[in-house]
Chains A and B, each alone.
Chain A
Amino acid sequence: NAGVTQTPKFQVLKTGQSMTLQCAQDMNHNSMYWYRQDPGMGLRLIYYSASEGTTDKGEVPNGYNVSRLNKREFSLRLESAAPSQTSVYFCASTASTSGRYEQYFGPGTRLTVT
Chain B
Amino acid sequence: QKEVEQNSGPLSVPEGAIASLNCTYSDRGSQSFFWYRQYSGKSPELIMFIYSNGDKEDGRFTAQLNKASQYVSLLIRDSQPSDSATYLCAVNGYRGGKLIFGQGTELSVKP
Contacts and interface: CB of A to CB of B under 8 A. Distances in A.
Interface residues of A, number: 28
Interface residues of B, number: 22
B8 A40 contact: yes
Listed from nearest, the 7 A-B pairs whose CB atoms lie closest are: A42-B103, A105-B43, A43-B101, A96-B95, A42-B101, A31-B96, A42-B104
A106 B42 CA distance: 10
A45 B32 contact: no
B98 A58 contact: yes
B44 A105 contact: yes
Contact of B100 (A45, A56, A103): A45
B42 to A, nearest CB: 8
Contacts, number: 55
From DSSP, what is the main secondary structure of chain A's interface residues? strand
B82 to A, nearest CB: 19
A48 B46 CA distance: 18
Nearest to B95: A96
Contacts of A35: 101
Interface of B: 4, 6, 8, 32, 34, 43-46, 49, 88, 90, 95-104
Contact of A33 (B46, B95, B99, B103): B99
Nearest to A56: B98
A82 B110 CA distance: 40
B93 to A, nearest CB: 12
B101 A96 contact: no
Interface of A: 1, 30-31, 33, 35, 40-45, 48, 50-51, 56, 58-59, 90, 94, 96, 101-108
Contact of B43 (A40, A50, A106): A106
B58 to A, nearest CB: 13
A41 B103 contact: yes
Contacts of A48: 97-99
